[in-house]
Amino acid sequence: MIKRIGLTLSWLLIITVIVLVGAANYIYNVAINRNDEAIRLYGSDEAVKAVSALEEEQKRLQELRSWTEKQDFEEVELQSDDGLTLSARYLKNDAPNGKTVILAHGYKGNNEQLPEVTRYYYQKGFNILKPDARGHGKSEGEYIGYGWHDRNDLRKWIDYLVEDEKEKFIFLHGFSMGASTVLMASGEELPREVRGIIADSGYTSVKEEMVHQLKYLYDLPSFPLMDVTSLVTELRAGFSFEEASALNQVKKKRNNLPLFIIHGDKDELVPSEMAARLYENASGMKELWIIPDVGHTEGFLEEEEEYRLRLTGFIEEAMQQ
């Protein structure tokens, strides 16, 4: 009898492990492995609504397209530390103010996005570098790094600007996954040319964001599925959900760089409480703007005038540090 119970339990354990590994690989293939398929995320409907609203404003959209098409973007490439060819578009300003911004796009985005913010920076005299994150656009990579390995890629782009383009004042501005990328980069040694970081709608860590999505999309507990998926990700992509933490990087933020955290209080994709914790754990000059009645990365679209004023004010103050 005891032997039969032991055999039954062993089979149940084997079946459970097989199911967990299969589910973990499914999540990896959907959310982390590079593919062109759209993925449903909790809270992403709000972002879609924002884009749709912009599309309905045909005049404004056409003006943006017309302006973008007139700009002389240069295609640039470099090699990542692990041998990937990374791609970016670089726009030199006709009336430069001596400053440059690196714009980091979000999950499954590319360097052709963020036209409104690109125009803002150009109008302010900035040169603009817009990289494709690894696993996105024209950049190589078989997986999405969620900002963790991308933080090292960002450092390579900074070195390119300093060494090849002789840029002297650099700001990092990221949105969603790009926001977490610039926050993760803040924990690394960055050149003195980097003067400030702007993070719009970033998450605290890959683990917390994955747990958030798992809870609201599938109503499933995080343990043990997230732990197994993290292990699968570590084996297949070389990083774990636990280590990929913007929060930990902000805690050890080196160079004491000025930090501006922006988040909508109606963000369901990345809860705004994550922004509050990031802010609380940052040191040095820092600013937090939680925008009322605004969803994920909608701040510039919904509150453009105030966004411009606050961003300009932050940059001016950061330059005095």
pLDDT digits (tens, 9 = 90+) for 223-281: 788 899 999 999 999 999 999 999 999 998 767 899 999 999 999 999 999 999 999 99
Using DSSP's 3-state secondary structure scheme, residue 24 falls into helix
pTM: predicted TM-score of the whole model, two decimal places: 0.90
pLDDT score for 2: 62
Residue 310 contacts residue 250 (beta carbons within 8 Å)? no
Beta-strand ranges (E) seen in 219-278 are 259-264
Q: Judge whether residue 217 has pLDDT over 90.
A: no
The span from the CA of 213 to the CA of 200, in Å, is 19
pLDDT score for 269: 93
Any idea what DSSP says for residue 155?
A: H
More confident residue, 13 or 77: 77
pLDDT score for 295: 95
Sign of CA dihedral 243, 244, 249, 251: negative
Residue 64 contacts residue 115 (beta carbons within 8 Å)? yes
Residue 27 pLDDT grade (very low, low, confident, very high; cuts 50, 70, 90): confident
pLDDT score for 313: 98
Residue 142 contacts residue 33 (beta carbons within 8 Å)? yes
Residue 153 pLDDT grade (very low, low, confident, very high; cuts 50, 70, 90): very high
For the ranges 47-56, 103-112, 202-211, 262-271, which has the lowest average pLDDT?
47-56
Task: Choose from 8-22, 49-63, 292-306 the range with maximum mean pLDDT.
Answer: 292-306
Q: How open is the CA angle 98-99-105, to the nearest 5 degrees?
A: 155
Average pLDDT, the chain: 89
Residue 150: C-alpha distances to residues 85, 143, 244, 246 (Å): 13, 11, 10, 12
User: For residue 14, what are its two tokens?
Assistant: 């084997």
* Per-residue model confidence as pLDDT tens digits over 140-150: 999 999 999 99
Task: Choose from 5-9, 208-212, 305-309 the range with maximum mean pLDDT.
Answer: 305-309
The span from the CA of 68 to the CA of 283, in Å, is 37
Residue 187 pLDDT grade (very low, low, confident, very high; cuts 50, 70, 90): very high
Residue 218 contacts residue 13 (beta carbons within 8 Å)? no
The pLDDT of 40-50, averaged and rounded, is 53
Percentage of residues of the chain with pLDDT beyond 70: 85
The pLDDT of 30-52, averaged and rounded, is 62
| Residue partners of 214: CB distance under 8 A and separation at least 6 | 220, 222, 225, 226
Residue 190: C-alpha distances to residues 150, 156, 254 (Å): 14, 10, 8
Residue 54 pLDDT grade (very low, low, confident, very high; cuts 50, 70, 90): very low
Q: Judge whether residue 19 has pLDDT over 70.
A: no
The continuous run of DSSP H or E covering 220 comes out as none
Using DSSP's 3-state secondary structure scheme, residue 263 falls into strand
User: What one-character-per-residue DSSP string does 285-315 give?
Assistant: SEEEEEETT--TT-HHHHSHHHHHHHHHHHH
The pLDDT of 126-138, averaged and rounded, is 97
Delimit the domains of the chain by residue range: 45-205+244-319
pLDDT score for 155: 97
3-state helix, strand, coil in the chain (%, to 5): 50, 15, 35
Q: How far apart are the first and last CA of the chain?
A: 75
Which residues in 260-287 are b (16+ Cβ under 10 Å) and which e?
Answer: bbbbbebbbbbbbebbeebbebbeebbb
* Per-residue model confidence as pLDDT tens digits over 92-127: 999 999 999 999 999 999 999 999 999 999 999 999
CATH of the domain spanning 45-205+244-319: 3.40.50.1820
Sign of CA dihedral 240, 280, 284, 308: positive
pLDDT score for 204: 98
More confident residue, 122 or 55: 122
More confident residue, 46 or 217: 217
pLDDT score for 9: 52
pLDDT score for 85: 98
